[in-house]
């Protein structure tokens, strides 16, 4: 079993929809939680960063962490065609390198 599980999609939504992306994990030591966005043929770029449990909002993006359920989410409001990409959750502890999920491919239809 992988430490981080993520539904690969693809997920197709109409422009303006609210998107929900999720990951589950098994390592209770994880304290740092991130979402990276990866456009086709590009390297991932950091989208959201959360430490421990709670919510964090940045514009149209909201990240949620529920450590009791070992579950993290990324919500995208008013989705745009430019949001079409693969979204990777990532998490880690202290000095250890990040562990990534397999990524969810999102397609926002105009």
Partner 1 sequence: EAEVAQSPRYKITEKSQAVAFWCDPISGHATLYWYRQILGQGPELLVQFQDESVVDDSQLPKDRFSAERLKGVDSTLKIQPAELGDSAMYLCASSSIQGATGELFFGEGSRLTVL
For position 54 contacting partner 1 by CB under 8 A, the verdict is no
For position 40 contacting partner 1 by CB under 8 A, the verdict is no
Q: What is the dihedral of CA 7, 60, 39, 65, to 10 degrees?
A: -40
Q: Which of 28, 52, 71, 96 binds partner 1 (CB under 8 A)?
A: 96
- Residue 108 tokens, joined: 């926002």
For position 1 contacting partner 1 by CB under 8 A, the verdict is no
Cα angle 10, 13, 18 (rounded to 5 degrees) comes to 115
For position 26 contacting partner 1 by CB under 8 A, the verdict is no
For position 63 contacting partner 1 by CB under 8 A, the verdict is no
99 neighbors 3 (Cβ within 8 angstroms): yes
The stretch among 4-12, 52-60, 62-70, 71-79 that binds partner 1 (CB under 8 A) is 4-12
- Residue 75 tokens, joined: 């919500």
């Amino acid at each position: 079993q992988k430490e981080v599980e993520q539904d690969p999609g693809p997920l197709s939504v109409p422009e303006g929809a609210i998107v929900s992306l999720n990951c589950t994990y098994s390592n209770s030591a994880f304290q740092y939680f991130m979402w990276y966005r990866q456009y086709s043929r590009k390297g991932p770029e950091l989208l959201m960063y959360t430490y421990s449990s709670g919510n964090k909002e940045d514009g149209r993006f909201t990240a949620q962490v529920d450590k009791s359920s070992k579950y993290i989410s990324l919500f995208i409001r008013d989705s745009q065609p430019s949001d079409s990409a693969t979204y990777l959750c990532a998490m880690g502890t202290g000095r250890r390198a990040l562990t990534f999920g397999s990524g969810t491919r999102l397609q926002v239809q105009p």
